[in-house]
Amino acid sequence: MMDRRQKKTREAIFNAFTELLSEKSYHQISVQDIIDTADIGRTTFYAHFETKDYLLKELCAELFDHIIDTAMGLPHRHACSYGDESDSVFLHLLRHLRENDRHILDLLASDNNELFLRYFKSELKKLIVSQYGVGNEAPHAALPEEYRIHHIASSFVEAVSWWISHRCKESPEEIAGYFAATVDPLINKN
């Protein structure tokens, strides 16, 4: 368990990283840039994160942990209080993306987003399994569960990419509706 000082330092690192992401691409950011912006020592950075890639992974995991906690009825970790409990986890995630929470949109839109997309899809798969029981039931005759999970996660990433390419003109509710129309048969199979 982290003490208050460690949490504060970790938050400073996240803030520095996200600030830098608003200024330049992920691959242009060095650990030294993060250290300088966070005003911490190199040892302190490495006490919290093994690499810049690990920092990115933790940033993505933190966002998804919040989404999963919210969907499971656990208390929010921030002041965001839109929608109601019946909103899908995908809609909740889209709302965070719309807010550009932790500059996630900047990462998704960047030319060098392969690593982030890998983490994003990995966390999406966990979210799908935890929220919809996909992967927990008897195998579907026509589709292997692993394929279904991968397809749903990939479809969501593509929906978000399309949304970004259209400069997020549509509301999160509209995108969630489009997404639901395309994947509901895969999520809600009977």
Domain boundaries, the chain: 1-49, 51-187
Distances (CA, A) of 167 to 29, 96, 98, 143, 160: 24, 15, 10, 34, 10
Distances (CA, A) of 174 to 70, 88, 94, 97, 163: 21, 13, 10, 14, 10
User: Hey, what amino acid is at 127?
Assistant: L
Among residues 121, 95, 105, 136, which one has the least CA distance to residue 26?
105
Higher pLDDT, 79 or 146: 146
**111 by DSSP, 3-state: which?**
coil
Higher pLDDT, 13 or 82: 13
Mean pLDDT of the region 72-94: 58
Mean pLDDT of the region 70-86: 47
Band the pLDDT of 96: cuts 50, 70, 90.
confident
The DSSP 8-state label assigned to residue 76 in this structure reads P
Share in percent of the chain as helix, strand, coil (round to 5): 70, 0, 30
Rounded to an integer, what distance in angstroms lies between the CA atom of residue 108 and that of residue 112? 9
User: Residue 138 pLDDT > 60, yes or no?
Assistant: no
Question: Do residues 116 and 108 touch, judged by C-beta distance below 8 A?
Answer: yes
Question: Do residues 39 and 13 touch, judged by C-beta distance below 8 A?
Answer: no
User: Residue 169 pLDDT > 70, yes or no?
Assistant: yes
Rounded to an integer, what distance in angstroms lies between the CA atom of residue 95 and that of residue 66? 13
Sequence-distant (≥ 6) Cβ neighbours of residue 14 within 8 angstroms: 55, 59, 62, 102
User: Residue 5 pLDDT > 70, yes or no?
Assistant: yes
Rounded to an integer, what distance in angstroms lies between the CA atom of residue 190 and that of residue 186? 10
Among residues 168, 176, 127, which one has the least CA distance to residue 149?
127
Mean pLDDT of the region 25-47: 94
CATH class of 1-49: mainly alpha
Please report the sign of the dihedral spanned by the C-alpha atoms of residue 187, residue 175, residue 92, residue 167: positive
User: Residue 116 pLDDT > 80, yes or no?
Assistant: no
Sequence-distant (≥ 6) Cβ neighbours of residue 97 within 8 angstroms: 104, 105, 108, 160, 163, 172
User: Residue 99 pLDDT > 70, yes or no?
Assistant: yes
Higher pLDDT, 65 or 44: 44
Mean pLDDT of the region 118-140: 72
